[in-house]
Chains A and B, each alone.
Chain A
Amino acid sequence: MRRLAVWAVTAMFALAVYLLLTLWSGAWGLWSLSELIAGVVMALIVGLVAGNLLWERGGWRMLMPHRWVLLLVFSAGPLLWAMARANVDVAWRVITGKIRPGIVRFDPALKTELARTILANAITLTPGTLTVDVHELSGAFYVHWINVTDERPTPEQVCGALPAWARRIAE
């Protein structure tokens, strides 16, 4: 029963996004008939594949609208700034060839899957740091770092304010 509810809710979300993206696509009302059929079929498949992953361990938190606003603020502000600094830094390392690579471990103490996903994505998106693995149980991050300054770093040393923002958005 729960599986069915999860499937239906996820499929409805996927369909809503699809309908927003294909607005004014046809002469038949707002959407053309073929778009509607394709949308329903794809939404059902997406619900089947992603349903269980999405709602497990605190995924429902993202139903609160202010978290989406926070996600937008984070992407346009701190993430973009971190990306800009890292880009210039790595560009300089490409030219000079000064690298000190290594895989370090740190524990950002994030509990929900979603917060870990957001942080891992943000870390990988900034050049110079790359998430290689995340320990499922303890939540420890293994990050390939192009300039290892400390072999046992704190999360702030590797990725600055990003863990705090991941916690704000999804926990």
Chain B
Amino acid sequence: MNIVIYILLAVGAVFNGLGALALIRFPDVYTRIHGATKCTTFGSIFSITAVVVHGFLRGGGEGGTLAVHALFALVFLLITNPTGSHALARGAYRGGIKPAQAVVDQLEKDRR
């Protein structure tokens, strides 16, 4: 069963790595937030699922507690991450940062 945990961790690490790469490759704050979202969704879903599987395999009160706590951490991460990303993007836009390489900016047109 350990192989399942290793696979989950590897997939999570790959997505987290690609998210970090996105911070270097993408041109502006909005596209970089897309990359960061990828970290917090698939990166943490797979890493935390690995912890949950480990907790259940270990069994007993301690393992069960570990698994349930990890699941709660995932739930709260998935609720709070979009809230934070949206606040960052909205704040950046109101602060006057225009999206780079944009083919269309409907918000700019509507505000005029």
Contact = CB atoms under 8 A, between A and B. Distances in A.
Given A102-B105, A130-B34, A144 B89 contact: yes
Q: Most chain-B CB neighbours within 10 Å: which of A84, A128, A133? A: A133
A125 B99 contact: no
Contacts of B100: 101
Interface in A111-128: 120-128
Contacts of A130: 30, 33-34, 37, 85-86, 89
Contacts of B18: 91, 94-95
B41 A94 contact: no
Interface string A73-97: 0000000000110010011001101
Interface string A123-162: 1111110111100000000101010100100000000000
Given A83-B42, A87-B38, A132-B90, A103 B99 contact: yes
Contacts of A102: 99, 102-106
B107 interface: yes
Contacts of A148: 103-104
A133 B93 contact: yes
Size category of the A interface is 20 to 34
Contacts of B86: 120, 124, 130-132
Interface in B78-112: 78-79, 81-83, 85-86, 89-90, 93, 99-108, 110
Contacts of B89: 130-132, 144
A49 to B, nearest CB: 15
Contact of B31 (A83, A95, A99, A133): A99
Contacts of B22: 90, 94
Contacts of A105: 106-107, 110
B21 interface: yes
B103 A120 contact: no
A97 B26 CA distance: 8
| CB-based closest 9 A-B pairs | A124-B82, A102-B104, A105-B106, A127-B38, A151-B104, A121-B82, A102-B103, A87-B42, A102-B102
Interface of A: 21, 83-84, 87, 90-91, 94-95, 97, 99-105, 120-128, 130-133, 142, 144, 146, 148, 151
Interface of B: 15, 18-19, 21-22, 25-26, 28, 30-31, 33-35, 37-38, 41-42, 72, 78-79, 81-83, 85-86, 89-90, 93, 99-108, 110
